[in-house]
Amino acid sequence: MRLPLRSTVSELVAGSVVAAAVSLVLQFAAARLGISEPSFAPEALASLGAALVLLITFVLLAVGPTRLPRPVRLAGTWAALSTFTTLALAIPLQATRYYFGGSSTDNAFRLQYMTRAASTWGLSDMNYAGVAPYYPGGWFWLGGRFANLLGWEGWAAYKAYALIWVAVTSVVAFTLWSVVVRRRLALLAAIATSLAGMLHGIEEPYAWPSAAWLAPIAVLAWHALRREERAPRWTLVCVGGYVGFAAIHLHAALRLRGAADRGDGRGGRRVPGPPRRAGVADGPAHVLRLLPIGVVSGLISRCWCGCRTCWPRTCSPTTRAARRCTTCGGRFVLPVPMTDASPVGALCLAGSPGWCCARGAARSRRRC
């Protein structure tokens, strides 16, 4: 790993603070543009500003200002990423207090959820006061505290809060990529992640962070689970923290699967691996390495219990918001074929233990 634990944590915290501050300042500046609608001027200005930021960033990457102190380079990178994402999204919204989509379709319940979170410090359903929330409320609860800090109503703070999260997501992605690749490659990966978010992720800003950070976290998890030496504990804890974070932001599952588990190499041919040596993680060692991930993610998700992951008392049919939902019923469903009451489900259930035993007793490794 290219960054130690202390540097990673400090950069995550400092980078998030810088990104939030830069994004908030730029949003207030964009709101004062006063460009009347309808007009294509906001879109043109946003494209020009974002292009200039990217151009300056790429020039600095090519020149390589190595004489500057490391904190200055990091702060400049964080500011560039947050400026790029904020300008591209905030300027087109300068004439409205609403986020993309206004108050229609799914944005209606998001604004409602933010308003509910701003009116109470507890976790409550967006429709029924005093009832356990149907959706995990971690992101919206923090949004309610953000609205209280500014003295705004929840719906009015949704746009600014969502844009801050988009900026923070790009900066955190840069830090996570810096753990597994060089700084310059990490910056390019963060820019690509930000561009992907503008195309597909901005519609659901509460779910975009867990999707944007999946790739570097998957690389970390792969190295931690497949390495021959002892896996770093902090890496497993961080992966568990990510899974728990995803669980409280509507992404409650993470599946990691490598090419070695597919049984074939490039071109459909089996590529033999090196002989098996003592200390290779397999069988019980995998279970022990997965244990910290499960414990940490479970503790985090339990702190923000919702309909799908909640304590039995909050899942009571008389107290849950899902009782009003006739289509889903609020039942806990584990989406795996082994739980399906069908012949295919029974076959999968019978074959899973056998596969685990055969995989643990295998004497060779496969690589792609």
Q: Are 243 and 176 in the same domain? A: no
Q: Are residues 94 and 165 in the same domain?
A: yes
33 in a structural domain: yes
Please check whether residue 183 is in contact with residue 206, taking contact to mean a CB–CB distance below 8 angstroms. Answer: no
Same domain? For 157 and 14 the reply is yes
Q: Is 117 a domain residue?
A: no
In a domain, 345, yes or no: yes
**Do 225 and 191 share a structural domain?**
no
Residue 143 falls inside a structural domain? no
Taking the C-alpha atoms of residue 346 and residue 338, their distance in angstroms, rounded to an integer, is 7
Residue 130 counted as domain residue: no
Model pLDDT, residue 82: 93
286 and 229 housed in the same domain: yes
- In this structure, are 282 and 349 located in the same domain? yes
Q: Do 283 and 178 belong to one domain?
A: no
Q: CA of 132: how far to CAs of 2, 17, 251, 301, in Å?
A: 42, 31, 18, 14
User: Residue ranges of the alpha helices (H) in the chain?
Assistant: 5-31, 41-63, 70-90, 106-119, 138-150, 154-180, 183-196, 208-212, 214-226, 233-247, 284-303, 343-360
Where among 184, 204, 224 does a domain terminate?
A: 204
The whole model's pTM is what? 0.73
Q: Does 221 lie in the same domain as 157?
A: no
b (16+ CB within 10 A) / e for 7-16: ebeebbebbb
Query: For residue 118, is it within any domain?
Result: no
Instruction: Say if 168 falls within a structural domain.
Output: yes
Residue 261 lies in a domain: yes
> How many structural domains comprise the chain?
2
**Whether residue 198 is found in the same domain as residue 311:** no
Q: For residues 290 and 229, is the Cβ–Cβ distance under 8 A?
A: no
Assess whether 327 and 294 both reside in one domain: yes
Residue 368 structural domain: 213-368
- Among 142, 169, 204, which residue terminates a domain? 204
The pLDDT value recorded for residue 20 is 94
The SS3 call for residue 364 is strand
Which pLDDT does position 250 carry in this prediction? 61
d(CA 153, CA 155): 6
Per-residue model confidence (pLDDT) at position 309: 38
Same domain, 197 and 219: no
Strand blocks (E) in the chain: 272-275, 364-366
Looking at this protein, which amino acid is placed at residue 245?
A: F
Residues 267 and 341 in one domain: yes
Distances from the Cα of 159 to the Cα of 17, 95, 165, angstroms = 18, 12, 10
Spatial contact of 135 and 249, defined as CB atoms under 8 Å apart: no
Last residue of one domain, picked from the residues 159, 186, 204: 204
Per-residue model confidence as pLDDT tens for the chain (368 residues):
677 888 888 999 999 999 999 999 999 998 888 787 787 888 888 889 888 998 888 887 777 666 778 888 889 899 999 999 999 999 988 888 889 888 887 888 888 889 988 888 887 778 887 777 777 778 888 999 999 999 999 899 999 999 999 999 999 999 999 998 888 899 999 999 998 888 777 888 888 888 899 999 988 888 887 776 776 778 888 888 888 888 776 654 433 333 333 333 344 444 344 444 444 455 556 667 777 888 888 787 776 654 443 433 344 444 444 454 444 444 445 566 777 777 777 877 777 666 666 666 554 444 33
